[in-house]
Structure 1
């Protein structure tokens, strides 16, 4: 479950003091609304296990936190599906479209129209109020939180529960409730790009992307630049979490093999095999500075004790 904790964390978290309570079992009503609905959805899909960070990671044990963080990317990539909530707190319901549907759904009209060159034949033309696309929903409601970026990038299958409709994204297509058309994900899905690099012939035979290895490298490089831009615009509650939040995306690139620009090392958000381009980052003059937390880091990750140098975009507190 990918969700936003909110400014006030849920009382039901995995801590030393709550460990025995959680192990003995907890009434469903004790969980936040988004968790309750996620449980119900998982059960309806026949999924036995649901990973929720607040109750699956010991929140007051830095050793457990660091170990689980390193495994997090694997959890996401091997998950049957990732549920992405768009609520601002865990207490907001996961599925928020019921009230919208009861109020009449998407406002629209159907009119009769005809082509100027063929006035004898008319057809119905449906017009409706514009609603957010899946990409817009992700950008405005999900990836604004830095830790959630990896949860959407690495997922093989992602269900986004938007305010107006629900979206489905996998490595092959993107669908939404408001349209019967399936859209190709092409170069927008990191999971599909990683798959096309590993198995280009398989994907081509299956009617998928079929991106050639050289083209895959360029696409992955372009996608990385997009990840950097998105990460620099996102919010972190704890100062210094930006590199740990990026760690599992970096690992996904490193697992591609010993060839390509990603095989020559990585430091502070920049690939050494792509150093010339990686150092060309600049402030985005059209974006305001991110609301990076000003409090000192409270979670110490051994890999990231050293502060990012000034040549890295990570040291910058504004969008790039």
Structure 2
């Protein structure tokens, strides 16, 4: 079981939760959140009192607004549980270079970050996301459906998904035409209430 907030731990968790007590996936997610300069993070097992039925029912009813209103959803795609992490250590870090502009002499240097190019996956390998451990969980369905943007961490690279498409670091997925076969939720779009045909299709998919 992951680290949870229960009636017995609620008071202490409201005060503080030491980073050292977090399982690796939670720890990595907090590190990414801090690196993005985002102040708050929502983790279901910590933000909902797990053995309090009233609290669970109240918070579960808000899930749609929580994920739809989030700045970013972090997905540990290849992690089988809360201890797998985001594989931050296996992703090649960027190299930093200081560049001095010849035109603007005397001004502060510009720092450029460069990463080694990944080897693109073959087209036959596009279905690898379907079989990832995270996508086998029913709870994840609403997270991916409702999130405006999400960052998916895999063993070797990251994927970025938003309403304009799905992108991968290796360039295999770089436009609207390519991402449909990889993103199981991409065919469901938002629609106006008066567009009954599209609304019906969306409801059926949901």
Which of 186, 190, 197 matches 2:192? 197
How far apart, CA to CA, are the structure 2 residues paired with 1:78 and 1:28?
26
TM-score, normalised to structure 2's length? 0.73
Which of 24, 29, 50 matches 1:33? 24
Which of 164, 174, 192 matches 1:182? 174
Instruction: Deviation per CA, 1:172-212: give whole Å up to 9, x if none.
Output: 1211011076322688254xx22x537xxxxxxxxxxxxxx
How far apart, CA to CA, are the structure 2 residues paired with 1:175 and 1:130?
15
Which of 38, 41, 49 matches 1:58? 49
| Counterparts in 2 of 1:142 and 1:15: CA distance versus 1, 3 Å | same
Instruction: Deviation per CA, 1:278-316: give whole Å up to 9, x if none.
Output: xxxxxxxxxxxxxxxxxxxxxxxxxxxxxxxxxxxxxxx
| Counterparts in 2 of 1:101 and 1:218: CA distance versus 1, 3 Å | farther
- Alignment-derived partner of residue 7 in structure 2: 16
- Alignment-derived partner of residue 107 in structure 2: none
Q: Give me the CA root mean square deviation.
A: 2.9
Which of 137, 162, 168 matches 1:145? 137
Larger relative contact order (C-alpha < 8 A, sep ≥ 6)?
2
The offset of 1:221, in angstroms, is 3.5
Structure 2 counterparts to residues 46-195 of structure 1, below 5 A: 46-86=37-77, 87-94=79-86, 96=87, 98-99=89-90, 101=92, 132-133=125-126, 136-138=128-130, 140-179=132-171, 182-184=174-176, 188=186, 190=188, 193-194=189-190
SS at match of 1:168: strand
Q: How many equivalent pairs are there?
A: 177
SS at match of 2:139: helix
The offset of 1:40, in angstroms, is 1.1
Whichever of the two has the greater Rg, that structure is: 1
Q: Is the 8 A contact 1:97 1:165 kept in 2?
A: no
TM-score, normalised to structure 1's length? 0.49
How far apart, CA to CA, are the structure 2 residues paired with 1:162 and 1:153?
19
How far apart, CA to CA, are the structure 1 residues paired with 2:204 and 2:53?
31
In structure 2, runs of 5+ residues without a counterpart are: 94-115
The structure with the largest helix share of the pair is 1
In structure 1, runs of 5+ residues without a counterpart are: 1-8, 109-127, 199-212, 228-320
